[in-house]
Amino acid sequence: GQQVMQIPQYQHVQEGEDFTTYCNSSTTLSNIQWYKQRPGGHPVFLIQLVKSGEVKKQKRLTFQFGEAKKNSSLHITATQTTDVGTYFCAVSGSARQLTFGSGTQLTVLP
């Protein structure tokens, strides 16, 4: 299946600082999804990006899909303690199988 590399693995930020996580692929992706997993919880769908150069916003979260559809980013502005968790990108294959990146674990220090 398709592979995506996700960086960084861990990120500690002070509350109010910004945060960004990146996903990169060596091949062109048909789409990319982002999920959030709270500590002790299960992954929860955030958004799907499909179009080249697409940018979507959800309140303080901004999602981007690269022009070549090989990379994507999730940016959080002014982090809050409620943003704590692990953020995963995931790619959908031709048979709808979902392969997840390694995730970025975000810690927000109050």
1 contacts other proteins (rule: CB under 8 A) = yes
Which span (16-24, 55-63, 68-76, 96-104) binds other proteins, by CB under 8 A?
96-104
Closest of 9, 34, 7, 46 to residue 98, by C-alpha = 34
| Among the listed residues 103, 104, 106, 108, the single contact to other proteins using CB under 8 A | 103
Does 39 contact other proteins by CB under 8 A?
Answer: no
100 binds other proteins (CB under 8 A): yes
DSSP tag of 94: T
Is 43 an interacting residue with respect to other proteins (CB under 8 A)? yes
- Could you write out the DSSP letters of every residue in 1-43? ----EEE-SEEEEETT--EEEEEE-SS--S-EEEEEE-TTS--
| Pair 65, 47: CB distance under 8 Å | no
Q: Counting contacts by CB under 8 A, is residue 66 touching other proteins?
A: no
10/80 with CB nearer other proteins: 10
Q: How far is the CB of 86 from other proteins (least distance, A)?
A: 9
CA 88 to centroid of chain Cα atoms: 5
Task: State which of residues 21, 71, 92, 104 lies at the interface with other proteins (CB under 8 A).
Answer: 92
